[in-house]
Amino acid sequence: MSENEHHVVSPLLYLGILCALLIFTGITVWAAYQNFGPFNIVIALLIATIKMSLVILFFMHGKYSPRRTQLVIISGFFWLAIMLGLTLADYTTRHPEPSRSANPPAIAIHRA
């Protein structure tokens, strides 16, 4: 049955990943209380990305998956990057609509 043998990740490694994830959760809460200016969000997302990578590589066996599966995983993030990148490029370079800045909108918005 050698063909049916799947890579088995040891519980010790799982335990190590669990500890790493908990430590990173602590770090991200601590970092949120420090003033890094515009870098607060960068640090928060960086830590979240590291945590995600640990989950995908070890808990989800991404590291031990066949190349074809790894390609599918990477392509998912590639498409996500296209969606985020192109949309944000549009939003950050578009001139504000006239109705938004200078003149108030023609229809007043009533709020209770």
Partner 1 sequence: MHRTGELFGQYRTLEQQKETASLGMWIFLVQEILFFGGIFLAYTINRHSYPTAFGIAGNMLSLPLGAANTVVLIASSFTMAMSVWSAQTSRKALVTISLIATLLLGGVFLGVKVKEYKDKFDHHLIPGHGFDITYCSRNPAACHLEGKELSNEVEEIESGIKAEGGETALNAHAQLYFSLYFGMTGLHALHMIIGAGLLLWLILESRKGRYDANYNTPVENVGLYWHFVDIVWIFLFPLLYLINRHLV
CA contacts within 13 A on the Cβ side of 31:
19
Figure out which of the listed residues 80, 89, 97, 99 binds partner 1, where binding follows CB under 8 A.
80
Segments of 50-110 assigned E as strands = none
Q: Does 32 bind partner 1 (CB under 8 A)?
A: yes
Does 17 bind partner 1 (CB under 8 A)? Our answer is: yes
The minimum distance between CB 106 and partner 1, in angstroms, equals 18
Kindly determine how many residues on this chain lie close enough to bind partner 1 according to the rule CB under 8 A: 53
Task: Give the residue, chosen from 39, 44, 89, 94, that forms a contact with partner 1 under the rule CB under 8 A.
Answer: 44
Comparison of 92 and 106: residue with beta carbon closer to partner 1 = 92
Distance between CA atoms of 62 and 95, rounded to whole angstroms? 42
- Residue 28's contacts (CB-CB under 8 Å, 6 or more residues apart) are 43, 44, 47, 48
Q: Which of 69, 64, 65, 52 is nearest to 10 (CA)?
A: 64
Structure tokens at 32: 């949120």
Specify whether the CB–CB gap between 45 and 28 falls below 8 A: no
Alpha helices in 33-60 (DSSP H): 39-54
Which of 75/106 has CB closer to partner 1? 75
User: Residue numbers of the site for partner 1 (CB under 8 A)?
Assistant: 1, 3-6, 8-11, 14-15, 17-18, 21-22, 25, 28-29, 32-35, 40, 44-45, 47-48, 51-52, 55-56, 58-60, 65-66, 68-69, 72-73, 75-77, 79-80, 83-84, 87-88, 91-92, 111-112
